[in-house]
Chain A
Amino acid sequence: MPARERPGEGGKARPTSKSPYTEIVTPALLAIGRGELNLEAVVGALSGAAPGADGAVVTFLGLVRNHNAGRSVRYLEYEAYEPLALKAFERIASEIRERWPSARLALHHRIGRLDVGEASVAIAARSPHRGDAYAACRYAIERVKQIAPIWKREFFEGGDVWIEGATADPDDDCARAEAERAACV
């Protein structure tokens, strides 16, 4: 599905000229693209590393809402600076490894036109205990909103507007601390 992706841990290589057989491809841990999101694939991307040691998977699915700031939303159009968005996702995964060493992250973001009710982002966090998985999952979505170079244009009844949220500065420690506070409530 994704236009750009990083291979999942333990993923098998895609077919090469040396192998005439199609191998099983583990879904990417981090991806951005135009295809519909599949939460099972996002969860599946985390199944490789230590399947017996983990006791929790927490998932988050972000959906296109039919209302925003008093407007009736018809649909959204997402665009991204894709290579930098993937690097931002990698940074978020690495921040999570630092803060919750036992937790692992998978994150897929969709771009293009999304209708009301469709999923724009799918996140899974997996760890031995639920506390870290919940925290890592919440932290990931907060950080996506802060630093991923992705934009949504809202088409509503009567017009359209680019939504402008956080100033993307990955080195802003206050923003990072804010995401951590949200994750640890």
Chain B
Amino acid sequence: MRISIPLAAALALLAGQARAETIDVSSTTMLQIGQQTRGGANPFDPQLETVAPAFEILSIAARDVRNPVLRDLSLFVSTWGSYELAEPRWDTGTPEAKLNGDLVTLYAQARMFGRRVTLRLGREMVSTGVARMIHLDGGELVALLPAGFRLQGYAGVPVTQRFGARTTLRSWSPVGGDLAYGGRVAFAYGLAGYPGRGLELGASANFVEDGGDPVRQEVGADFRLQPFRDLTLTGLAAYSVWEERASELLARASYSVTRRFRIEADARYYAPDLFLARNSILSVFSAEDRRDFGAAFTYELTRALEIGAGYHVIVEPGETEEEKDFVGSEAALQVEWAGGPTRLGLEVDYLDALENGYLAFRVFGRRDFGKFFGTADVLSHLFRESVNGEDFAVTGTVSAGMQLAKGLSVVIAGNAGVTPFLEQTFDVMAKLAYNSIYRAREVR
């Protein structure tokens, strides 16, 4: 690569002007050793392969980068690289390569015009409206307009794994395609009193194309209403323009009866086939919908002890077109106790769907001993219908760690279990993590 001296000098000048006030650095060096199954086509049993990826995971956030042009300039990057010391994992993204890596996020964010305009450029995620957490290489602009209006627009290329081809066929991205764009216009009306009180209304659109063919064409509306401090209502309606029907409707309420007692309720409608890309050959065979609704609560019995439970009815299409909808259930119970250096938890989950279901138990705990800590986590599932001829799965994980000097910590973990696909499974992991914040100037 040729770099001219004037260009290098300009870079030096700019570098001298630009300096971040705060830099968050997180680095994780990790080795994981485990087993995965391969093959098993009739009449052979699957083979067990040992996988041993070594990772370096890096995340840097440089905030308030002083520079002569933009205000509140921040830079964010999270990335990783790995090397397969044994057989490649199934999720390397490039099975033929031992050396791998990817860029999770890399974006610059700047605020301009009295912080009324926010611009993000790079590899980022867009979450608002009907964007559905779209991950793209591109840009997003948020502009605060007078009278409580806000305008947001984005455009870019949906991200796929390992810088691979962007076409839907082999892309791991749920939206695939080679162009995504959309936006949202919102109106916020604040009510005096507790922060957050008020109404936010939004209308949004999201379009994704693949070589000009439609992948997704959705418009929608959303709202958040907090009429008084303890009650919040949210809602979303998404409509597929291409298929001319609703893809998702959601209404949700949360109410803090007291500081310690909180209840939530929600109802949802969605059409699973509309979550497939419109240029998938499978998008033309189904137009079914599903619903679920239910409620949950959490109650802080004491400062240390909290319980929570929830129940949802799930309604899915019957086994055949003539049969009535199947009405299933989903329930959860959590108890968590946190006293001083000790945290203990119990979770019970129940799922009863048409094809199968399970009853799950999880017990976990963590205990800190000064600079040391240990955790244990046991999770078991009892299946309603057997999975691969087995009725249950149980896995247990223990980990231990120690805080070293200067933001360094070390963690080792081991996992063992009995599952429907593995009579015995063992994994071990060791990682060295570094987390630190560097400040050029403490702002108070």
Does chain A bind chain B? no
